[in-house]
Amino acid sequence: MPKKPQPQKPNQSSVSNTSRTIVFTFLLVLCGMAIFSVLNQSSPTEEVALSDVISRANTENSDISKITVKGTELEITLKDQDKPTQVSRKDPSGTLYEQGLVDHCVDLSGDELADCNSKYPAIEYVEAVDVWGIVLDVAIIFLPIIAIIIFFKYMMGQAQSMNNQNMGFGKSKARLYGPDKKKITFKDVAGNESAKQDLAEIVDFLKSPKKYEKLGAKIPRGVLLAGDPGTGKTLMARAVAGEASVPFFSISGSEFAEMFVGVGASRVRDLFSKAKKNAPSIIFIDEIDAVAHKRDARGGAGREDEQTLNQILVEMDGFDNDSGVIVMAATNRVDMLDKALLRPGRFDRHVNVTLPERKDRLEILKVHFKNKPVTEEVDLDILAAKTAGSSGADLANIANEAAITAARENHDKITAGDITEAFERVAIGPERKSKAMNEQERKITAYHEAGHAIVGHVLPDSDPVHKVTIIPRGRTGGVTWFLPPEDRSYKNIYELKDVLARAMGGRVAEKIIFGKDAVTTGAGSDLKNVAELAKGMIVEEGMGDKTRNRVFLDPDTGYYTITTGKPYSEKTAELIDAEIKSLTDEAATRAEAVLKANTEILDKLAAALLEHETLEEAELAPILKGATLPTSAKLH
Ligand code: ADP
Ligand code: MG
Ligand code: ZN
């Protein structure tokens, strides 16, 4: 909630403070009582036996239209009624499924589902109502209002002030997705076949635990989904819940981080107890790295996180293998996780979710263009080819942006142009046609981009130039696109060195044309890319001249990290720095050699860019024709 800084008078009267507290408490109690009475009014009174409910629910054309499960309580709504009138209770130790309540419509969709729903009752899982939780939530809503009223009083001259204190709320914010109609299944997750296979096994565990127990197999307790952001980890976890038709309790690690001191651990406890009550069920802790980063990595700053993490460990150790609760977690940073979490009996199953390959990208695009009308010329395969390195979330985003663009342009179908526009917008940010660059800036940008394009075109191991533009987008002045012909798992050192050289091409072109003192800020991101790639080549890939085949990784984590300190001597560190510098220098030298050998083409391309702003492959070809590769830029 927004907190206004409250002016504080040093000598405020303690009497007015006390009376305000009384008024305050009174209001809270009033709200609470109002809610309590509302809840009491709506709760059904007629108690019926569970066995009765189950036999009625399992017959076709049941008299029950809906069963709402709240904790151990089942509220029953009859067909001709719109509110629950009967109530029943399940045995807290068992699950409804074991006691015979079956959700008949759970695996259906479309017409079949509608048909099934008209015969059998809908079964809905909701969080058990926690009256105090509601009272406190209401208090959260009213606190700012009361604070504002009091603030105005203060302004009107009644010297008053108020201590705005945080109140701790220990209720779990976990969202519960019951096995309801809007469920997500593996069909919604395109590509990632191997991850889906791993998870299908988890679904089977949840559906028929007996099968595994009979053979003495231990059901996994913790499954860790690891992968880059936007690769569909959250989506997959929800799909597991959907496939297994079990309740799904989800909370995000970052929500723990927002909490007041001491609350994280109690939320974890609350979350696990809810899940156990609704077993079989899934607990999903998204972005678990927010609470479970290495305890030493942060010094003493993370005590609250530590308590939360400890509570997760305690809960995971505490439940039996047959409790029917599986804990899933997702993270972008396995290397950051506390090792205690990864021990056997905790998150010992790892499922890697990877960035999609070309054919998977096509599948993902198909999923997201499924309900969007496109013109005939649209070829999603071309888009899949262009989007190497994009995550599922990026692709979903492109599909959505394309629809928005089409609507804005009043097209009745999405055109290929809309899709290109959307792709570029998502990749680098929207075009800023309105931001006027002055003539000098445009000229610098034109030479800068022409530099990238020519170096990339001339060097033999670089990807082909696809498009060059000097229309500013997002934070960049212009862009040169290179099109990777196919996804490849490996890149050789010559290809990487050509990437470094063409990235230097921008700034080098500026230097050649405008003099070595005309250093502008436009090349910052190029230089950052060069620095990162060069470092990766040396420390991760063993590509250094003097350090060939040696990598400089952290022995504990397998990753090169700054936080854990250097696992090598100062002398080696100097060697690494020298290797990185030599890669960068070589790149600049090669770029300069190429551009100096092709100054005429550089001028011609810059002029064409100033005139047309954007040049596609076909327009670039005649300009770049005849560009030469000087021997000094050759590597092999
Ligand atoms: P993560 O949790 O890995 O960061 P999400 O699961 O939140 O990623 O993915 C974000 C969105 O991206 C999803 O809601 C979905 O629309 C889209 N998406 C990601 N991966 C896929 C996929 N494999 N198939 C279909 N859509 C996907
Ligand atoms: Mg996520
Ligand atoms: Zn650049």
pLDDT value of residue 424: 85
pLDDT value of residue 42: 53
What is the Cα Rg of the chain in Å? 31
Q: Does the pLDDT at position 370 exceed 80?
A: yes
Q: Which is the closest atom of ligand 1 to the Cα of 227?
A: 3
Q: Select, from the ranges 257-271, 469-483, 620-634, the one with the highest average predicted confidence (pLDDT).
A: 620-634
From the CA of 417, how far away is ligand 3's center (Å)? 25
Residue from 632, 605, 616, 619 nearest 451 by CA: 605
| Assigned domain for 60 exists | yes
Report the alpha-carbon distance of residue 190 to residue 395 in Å, rounded. Answer: 11
| Assigned domain for 18 exists | no
CATH number at residue 617: 1.20.58.760
State the ligand closest to the CA atom of 225.
Answer: 1
pLDDT digits (tens, 9 = 90+) for 486-502: 666 678 999 999 999 99
From the CA of 106, how far away is ligand 3's center (Å)? 53
- From 307, 336, 352, give the residue that closes a domain: 352
From the CA of 107, how far away is ligand 2's center (Å)? 25
Q: Provide the total of helices (H) and of strands (E) in the chain, helices listed first.
A: 21, 14
Residues 324 and 194 in one domain: yes
Peptide bond into 430 cis (omega under 30): no
Residues 344 and 365 in one domain: no
pLDDT value of residue 161: 30
| Assigned domain for 35 exists | no
Q: Does the pLDDT at position 13 exceed 50?
A: no
Question: What region does 259 belong to: left with phi over 0, alpha with psi -120 to 50, or beta?
Answer: beta
Residues 203 and 286 in one domain: yes
Of residues 380 and 220, more confidently modeled = 380
CATH number at residue 105: 3.30.720.210
Give 273-340 as a DSSP string.
HHHHHT-SEEEEEETTHHHHB-SSTTGGGGHHHHHHHHHHHHHHHHS-GGG-EEEEEEES-GGGB-GG
Pocket lining: 232 vs ligand 1, CB cutoff 6 Å: yes
Residues 51 and 119 in one domain: yes
Amino acid at 331: T
SS3 label, residue 466: strand
Of residues 520 and 448, more confidently modeled = 448
Nearest CA, atom 11, ligand 1: 393
Residue 160 backbone phi and psi in degrees, to 5? -135, 160
- From 317, 352, 387, give the residue that closes a domain: 352
Q: Does the pLDDT at position 2 exceed 70?
A: no
Share of the chain above pLDDT 70, in %: 73
pLDDT digits (tens, 9 = 90+) for 372-407: 999 999 999 988 888 877 889 999 999 999 999 999
Report the domain count for the chain: 4
What's the distance, CA 266 to chain centroid? 25
From the CA of 365, how far away is ligand 3's center (Å)? 29
pLDDT value of residue 3: 37
pLDDT digits (tens, 9 = 90+) for 229-238: 899 999 999 8
pLDDT digits (tens, 9 = 90+) for 18-65: 556 655 666 666 655 655 555 555 566 788 877 778 778 877 777 888
Pocket lining: 234 vs ligand 1, CB cutoff 6 Å: yes
Report the alpha-carbon distance of residue 353 to residue 161 in Å, rounded. Answer: 53
Residues with CB under 5 A from ligand 3 (ion): 506, 526
CATH number at residue 396: 1.10.8.60
| Assigned domain for 7 exists | no
Nearest CA, atom 9, ligand 1: 232
- From 366, 401, 427, give the residue that closes a domain: 427
Range scoring the smallest mean pLDDT among 2-11, 329-338, 425-434:
2-11
Report the alpha-carbon distance of residue 612 to residue 471 in Å, rounded. Answer: 10
pLDDT digits (tens, 9 = 90+) for 166-195: 333 344 455 555 444 467 889 899 988 889
Report the alpha-carbon distance of residue 403 to residue 418 in Å, rounded. Answer: 8
Report the alpha-carbon distance of residue 364 to residue 329 in Å, rounded. Answer: 23
Residues 214 and 324 in one domain: yes
Residues 557 and 504 in one domain: yes
Residues with CB under 5 A from ligand 2 (ion): 234
Pocket lining: 279 vs ligand 1, CB cutoff 6 Å: no
CATH number at residue 302: 3.40.50.300
| Assigned domain for 294 exists | yes
| Assigned domain for 145 exists | no
Confidence of residue 206 (pLDDT cuts 50, 70, 90): confident
Residues 412 and 451 in one domain: no
| Assigned domain for 11 exists | no
Pocket lining: 392 vs ligand 1, CB cutoff 6 Å: yes
Chain mean pLDDT for the chain: 79
Residues 291 and 368 in one domain: no
Which long-range contacts does 211-215 make (Cβ < 8 Å, 24+ apart)?
213/322
Residues 87 and 226 in one domain: no
pLDDT value of residue 176: 56
Pocket lining: 253 vs ligand 1, CB cutoff 6 Å: no
Confidence of residue 623 (pLDDT cuts 50, 70, 90): very high
- In Å, what is the CA distance from 17 to each residue of 11, 20, 570? 12, 5, 61
| Assigned domain for 194 exists | yes
Residues 375 and 499 in one domain: no
Residues 378 and 284 in one domain: no
Residues 409 and 522 in one domain: no
Nearest CA, atom 6, ligand 1: 232
The pLDDT of 104-111, averaged and rounded, is 67
Top mutation candidate among 233, 234, 235 for ligand 1, by most atoms within 8 Å of CB: 235
Which residues have a catalytic role annotated? 449
State which residues form the domain around 408.
Answer: 358-427
